[in-house]
Structure 1
Amino acid sequence: MTIFNLIYLSCGSVGLLVLAYKIRSLRSSWGSPRVIALISTVFFGAMSPLLAAPANITWVNRTTGVPNFAALLVYSMVVCFAGASVALVLYWRYPAAEAWRRVRLIVFGYAAVVATMVVLFFSSDITEERQVDFDTYYASQPTIGVLLFIYFAATAAGCGGQSYHCWQGARDGAISARPWLARGLLWYCATGLFPVSFAVIKLFVLVLNWTGEHRFDVLSTAAPLLASLGMIPLVVAMALPAFGPRRPSPSLWLRRWRTYFALRPLHRALVHVNPAIVLVAPGKFLDPHHRVRRQIIELNDWRWALTPYFDLAVGEAATSLARQAALPQDEVAAVVEAAQLRAAGTSGRSKPAQRRPAAEIVDGTDLNTEHDRWVRISRAYQHSPIVEAAVADAARVRAARGSD
């Protein structure tokens, strides 16, 4: 019983968390048929595994005083989930008026299924409580056999329709142009396959039970666990369209961290120019996009603060040595800039006047070109022998001029 409780309660709790989030995020759209279908789908999807946990089955049966009433309640929740699921997909695929013409048939049809199940249940002799094997234990009783058959058939039809429409919708041109929505539909398609598999297995075992064959009853007992696991793709399906477009590219995230660490030595070497402008916004310490933007802002500010101390002799020496080394033009510019920063930043002159920090760069600005330029400057500052040689040559020239 422990494993059943663990899986059912875990899946149901996840479903309730999703439900709470959806209610909160969609509260401004209450009254929309699409929102009602969405909330209904998540609600029935969460309550089904919660009520199917053996601990809750015992509580429901004891509270109501009706043996096996929890079985009827769970079956009704699953049927309602199947109906709500396919209704939701129809509202996704079609305009509201057109969708409603189809959805109202589903509402009436599945309401009739639940009503029929209730009548059959209370017409049956099921006085012995069965927590996990109700289906196989009472399958040979005609009224319960019919109840189970329409329950499994309605579940398979509804969730199978959900999967079919999601698959077709994901391939629709208008939807496929929005990749995160298309991926959400594919995950929602997978969600429907779990209860379909559950219903097919249950139907297979039910038919065998009618013939007196009970060797496969263990499949019927385990099938609800499979259906409960459908909560996992349901959560993914609900999350992808909302959070997918906001998710930064993992490759871009890694590139930004590489840029950050490439700029870090130069940033540390120049921080003494004006340490007061160094800033990491609250909550952004692990955001490489913010950290690199701040590095670029601060490096540009320090660069302009050092500009009055740039030495023409250093620039000329660095340019000459870089061209002798046949460096590409962008590398020549990086070496010259690095040499000027090295000479100005380490000179013995008085500290330049403090400047107002540069304006913050707005999120989303494309800084790839600026990133690449500063990375080349940082690498030249750290590793280029030309930078060292240019600074040393300029120092010798100044010393020679001073001795004259």
Structure 2
Amino acid sequence: MTVLALDPSRLLDEFYISFWIPTAVLTAALVFKLPTIIRLWRDPLLRGVGGVLLLACAVFVFCAPSTIARVNRLIGVPNVSAPWCYSLITAMCGSCLLLVITWRNGLSDRSAATRRAVRWVISVYSGVIVALWVLFLLADAPEERLRDLDTYYATTPFMREEILLYLVAHAVAVLITSQQIWNWVRTEGLDGWLRWGLKLLGAGYVLNLIFNVSKLTAVFARWWGQDLDWLSTNLAPPVASLSAILVAVGFVLPHAGQYLHDRWRVRLAHRELRPLYQLMRSVSGEGVPFVLRATPELRLTRRETFIRDVLLSLARHIDAGLGRRSYDAALGLGHPPERARALAAAVGILDAIEAKGRDPEPAWGSPQALEALGEATGPDTTSLLREIGAVSRTLRHPDDIEAVRAHAAAQQSVAAHD
């Protein structure tokens, strides 16, 4: 049994930088997208994203030197991993082009130009894969090379053409994909998360160009009798790793970013309602029961419903005149209209709580109260929830509320003397 000596620095490079970190990131991206892909399997765009991520994972797994050695030993043919890895890279490039065509032109675009582009990509890149295997069968490459095959066999007949073929196919795909993505980034009206996702994809493909230029430069240097192998063996793999990470994040970011943003907005809205919720709990004597498995959206809805119900029960205790005076007082103190309305509503609610404590059954009813809350035409859920949030935020500033309350009382006193 042959024992392979391992260089710790190379082991670190292989397992944590150049191959397995991007594999982990790409796998995480694929796992994140997989439920949506399965649920909407008929969507060719989602299938395309899944295919690109899956092929990218396969590229980094099978291009790792340890995997190359295992495949060579398993098949029993020296360097048979070369056409296999080149084929995976070529298939991934073709998938990227198909994905960009579908993504950029839209699923409903069935024009002749789009159909021709799809057929061209499939036929050309399928032909490249077949040619890679034919060239390998014709070549003489008996010495196994795990890390520097591209440069070691750069001048070997048929291997030379094979290496150049996969690099040219890769360069063409990267150039076209990069151009399409950056043209799309400049399109007006894109969602913010989609724009950032496209920028990361564009940056990833720019790094892919650097990978390609590094490989081609090292190969051409061999043709001219020079040794720039470090470009292929030391620079290209980390660049490809970073490129894969950016591409994976770019695919996931639009969906994940919007999802996290929506969750953050729900949690923020729930937290913003806390002051008003605590105040309404003091009025009703009870709150919303805690449910362990309740989603953030359900918790927010139940808190909003509880606040609205208690507010409507307080409506008949609200003094409409006080609401108008408080609004004028807030404007007089320099608050903008939206802030003034929230302050006036807060003053009216606090006064209604005190009034309810003094007289649980007032002689005047809810229409005036609804007018004081800004709901003279009946409760509109959207505007009512917006008002609840503004009032709750205002309750965090009791000094402003007391100032408005005092100013409104002073105005009433002056009006009474007049």
Q: 1:56 to 1:365 in 2, by over 3 A?
A: farther
2:137 aligned residue (122, 128, 134): 122
In structure 1, runs of 5+ residues without a counterpart are 350-360, 391-404
Which residues of 2 match residues 147-226 of structure 1 at below 5 A? Answer: 147-172=162-187, 176-214=189-227, 216-222=228-234, 223-226=236-239
Q: Distance in 2 between matches of 1:279 and 1:54?
A: 58
* Residue of structure 1 in register with 2:102 after alignment: 91
Which residues of 2 match residues 3-402 of structure 1 at below 5 A? Answer: 3-7=13-17, 8-27=19-38, 30=41, 34=45, 37-94=48-105, 95-98=109-112, 99-172=114-187, 176-214=189-227, 216-222=228-234, 223-248=236-261, 256=269, 259-260=272-273, 263-264=274-275, 267-280=277-290, 282=292, 287=296, 294-305=302-313, 330=341, 331=343, 334-342=346-354, 344=356, 367-376=385-394, 379-380=397-398, 384=402
SS in 2 for 1:126: coil
Q: CA deviation at 1:85?
A: 0.9
Q: 1:364 to 1:112 in 2, by over 3 A?
A: farther
> CA contact under 8 A between 1:152 and 1:200: conserved in structure 2?
no
Q: Distance in 2 between matches of 1:323 and 1:36?
A: 60
Q: Distance in 2 between matches of 1:386 and 1:363?
A: 27
Q: CA deviation at 1:65?
A: 0.9
Q: What do residues 224-278 of structure 1 show as CA deviations (whole Å, max 9, x unaligned)?
A: 2311322222223322443444443799579647734xx43x5435524434442
Q: CA deviation at 1:372?
A: 1.9
> CA contact under 8 A between 2:211 and 2:239: conserved in structure 1?
yes
Matched residue count: 367
Q: Distance in 2 between matches of 1:385 and 1:277?
A: 30
Percent identity for Structure 1 against Structure 2: 25
Higher mean C-alpha deviation, range 224-233 or range 40-49: 224-233
Q: Distance in 2 between matches of 1:105 and 1:61?
A: 33
Q: What do residues 305-332 of structure 1 show as CA deviations (whole Å, max 9, x unaligned)?
A: 5677x598xx98xx79x97996677445
Q: CA deviation at 1:96?
A: 3.5
Q: CA deviation at 1:63?
A: 0.9
Q: Distance in 2 between matches of 1:180 and 1:298?
A: 34
SS in 2 for 1:369: helix
Q: Distance in 2 between matches of 1:72 and 1:270?
A: 70
Q: Distance in 2 between matches of 1:375 and 1:36?
A: 45
Higher mean C-alpha deviation, range 367-376 or range 145-154: 367-376
Higher mean C-alpha deviation, range 247-256 or range 195-204: 247-256
The CA RMSD over aligned residues, in Å, is 4.2
SS in 1 for 2:172: helix
Q: CA deviation at 1:15?
A: 2.6
Q: 1:217 to 1:38 in 2, by over 3 A?
A: same
Q: CA deviation at 1:145?
A: 2.0
Q: What do residues 167-205 of structure 1 show as CA deviations (whole Å, max 9, x unaligned)?
A: 2233345xx455544444333333322322211110001
Q: Distance in 2 between matches of 1:341 and 1:63?
A: 80
SS in 1 for 2:261: coil
Higher mean C-alpha deviation, range 221-230 or range 240-249: 240-249
Q: Distance in 2 between matches of 1:291 and 1:27?
A: 29
Higher mean C-alpha deviation, range 228-237 or range 330-339: 330-339
* Residue of structure 2 in register with 1:352 after alignment: none
Q: 1:377 to 1:27 in 2, by over 3 A?
A: closer
> CA contact under 8 A between 1:306 and 1:341: conserved in structure 2?
yes
Residue identity in the other structure for 1:278: V
Q: CA deviation at 1:48?
A: 0.4
Q: Distance in 1 between matches of 2:218 and 2:404?
A: 80
Q: Distance in 2 between matches of 1:158 and 1:272?
A: 65
